[in-house]
């Protein structure tokens, strides 16, 4: 029966006047009908969190899978190309006839999100659009795969070539730089080591994982300050620096040295310093949210108590006072009157040059999403959580 099905599909591939879309077993049948082969995998791929990279855009999607065989891409012929590749084991996850070929394509995973991820449901839209294009033009129209061109993405954001990288560590555990920064810094060091990059760490806290023997190639047990970091850069001459894995202290150093990095011959890797400033400067952040149409509470930035009091009077009590350049809410709080506002501003201005006076969110709950985004526009929600307090309890 399978041989007969494959033979029939082979005839359809020659004579079809409409697009063809194969899924799971349909993917393997289509490949076999095209003249390609399949092979049994050692373990197979089964689960709901399997990453697959698209060959056209370089974007990675999370998929659900349940298969023990794969299409042998080395056996593809007659214009067929790999479309998706499993990012874990490099196995084939999709084929197509390219942007200039017939609108035939297939995927090994389950884009119908049964079960799990909905990342690749867009493939059904691709298929529907292909059907409409072919019907409108009265001919087989090549598929237009979304996500842009990989070559364009690489040209727009070329990979940095570095041999030695300085990582600003987590330092002492405190508000704004707790254990999660020890973890993220450790993972950054491991990733750099896997790339064969010589790694230098600055971290005065010996009670961290990232300072353990065998991680960084060299560790400076010195305070993470602009003066020490500047001296280390001049001595070690690293190609690059990471400022985003050490909490508020490391971010602050990055901001202080942002105008010196170029003359010191070091590239800032990862998040640009200006982006850090935009997210930490409460006024700039509010403006950025407004530009993209995100709703924010009525607010005003202040650099003195007088400005804060004027803003609070305009907005109306109660208000939230948020200190800028302070991860974890250090120096922030809730004020019901001017006396409480003065007390909060005294504390906030002791740690920050700016505060944001914001309309009260009393009774609201905070749901936080930790999202990582890369230069290929891949976005991963690492975790999400409901904060255990309401804003009126700050």
Quick check: 208 and 170 in contact, CB under 8 A? yes
Please tell me the distance from the alpha carbon of residue 157 to that of residue 169, in angstroms, as a whole number. 26
CA 183 remoteness from chain centre = 17
Query: What is the longest distance spanned by two Cα atoms in the chain?
Result: 84
Residues forming a β-bridge with 167: 201, 242
Residues forming a β-bridge with 47: 65
* DSSP secondary structure string for all residues of 75-128: G--TT-EEEEEETTT--EEEEE--TTS-SEEEESS-TT-SSS--TTTHHHHHHH
Please tell me the distance from the alpha carbon of residue 65 to that of residue 81, in angstroms, as a whole number. 21
**Helix-then-strand count for the chain, H and E:** 12, 17
In the three-class reduction of DSSP (H, G, I as helix; E, B as strand; rest coil), residue 328 is classed as helix
Please tell me the distance from the alpha carbon of residue 24 to that of residue 66, in angstroms, as a whole number. 8
Quick check: 85 and 50 in contact, CB under 8 A? no
Contacts 24+ apart (CB under 8 A), 231-235: 232/166, 232/200, 232/202, 233/166, 233/264, 233/266, 234/264
Candidates 27, 52, 110, 243; catalytic one: 110
Catalytic: 24? Answer: yes
Catalytic: 112? Answer: yes
C-alpha radius of gyration, the chain, whole number = 27
Candidates 24, 81, 236, 307; catalytic one: 24
Quick check: 299 and 195 in contact, CB under 8 A? no
Please tell me the distance from the alpha carbon of residue 126 to that of residue 141, in angstroms, as a whole number. 12
Nearest to 252 by CA among 284, 277, 286: 277
Kindly list the distances between the CA atom of residue 149 and the CA atoms of 57, 127, 226, in Å, as whole numbers in the listed order.
Answer: 5, 19, 40
Candidates 81, 112, 236, 340; catalytic one: 112
37-54 and 81-86 as β-strands: parallel, antiparallel, unpaired?
antiparallel
The catalytic residue positions are 24, 110, 112
């Amino acid at each position: 029966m399978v041989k007969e099905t494959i033979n029939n599909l082979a005839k359809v591939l020659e004579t079809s006047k409409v697009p063809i879309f194969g899924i799971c077993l349909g993917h393997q049948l289509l490949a076999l009908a095209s003249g390609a082969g399949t092979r049994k995998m050692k373990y197979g791929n089964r689960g709901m969190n399997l990453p697959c990279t698209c060959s056209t855009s370089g974007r990675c999607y999370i998929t659900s899978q349940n298969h023990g065989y794969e299409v042998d891409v080395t056996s593809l012929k007659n214009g067929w190309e790999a479309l998706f590749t499993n990012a874990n084991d490099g196995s084939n996850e999709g084929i197509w006839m390219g942007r200039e070929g017939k609108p035939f394509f297939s995927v090994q995973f389950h884009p119908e999100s049964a079960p799990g991820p909905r990342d690749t449901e867009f493939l059904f839209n691709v298929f529907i659009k292909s059907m409409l294009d072919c019907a409108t033009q009265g001919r087989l129209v090549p598929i237009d795969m979304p996500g842009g061109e990989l070559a364009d993405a690489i040209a727009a954001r070329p990979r940095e070539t570095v041999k030695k990288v300085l990582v600003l560590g987590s330092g002492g555990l405190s508000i704004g730089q707790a254990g999660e920064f020890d973890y993220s810094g450790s993972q950054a060091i491991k990733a750099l080591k896997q790339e064969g990059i010589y790694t230098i760490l600055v971290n005065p806290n010996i009670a961290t994982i990232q300072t353990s023997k065998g991680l960084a190639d060299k560790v400076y047990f010195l305070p993470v300050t602009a003066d020490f970091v500047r001296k280390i850069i001049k001595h070690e001459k690293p190609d690059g620096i990471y400022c985003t894995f050490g909490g508020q202290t490391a971010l602050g150093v990055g901001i202080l040295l942002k105008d010196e990095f170029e003359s010191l011959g070091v590239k800032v890797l990862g998040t640009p310093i200006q982006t850090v400033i935009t997210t930490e400067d409460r006024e700039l952040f509010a403006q950025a949210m407004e530009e993209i149409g995100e709703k924010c509470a009525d607010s005003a930035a202040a650099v003195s108590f007088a400005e804060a009091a004027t803003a609070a009077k305009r907005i109306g009590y109660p208000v939230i006072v948020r200190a800028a350049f302070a991860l974890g809410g250090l120096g922030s709080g809730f004020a019901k009157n001017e006396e409480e506002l003065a007390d909060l501003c005294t504390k906030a201005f002791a740690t920050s040059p700016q505060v944001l006076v914001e309309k009260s969110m009393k009774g609201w709950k905070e749901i936080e999403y930790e999202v990582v985004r890369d230069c290929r526009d891949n976005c991963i929600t690492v975790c999400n959580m409901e904060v255990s307090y309401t804003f009126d309890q700050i």
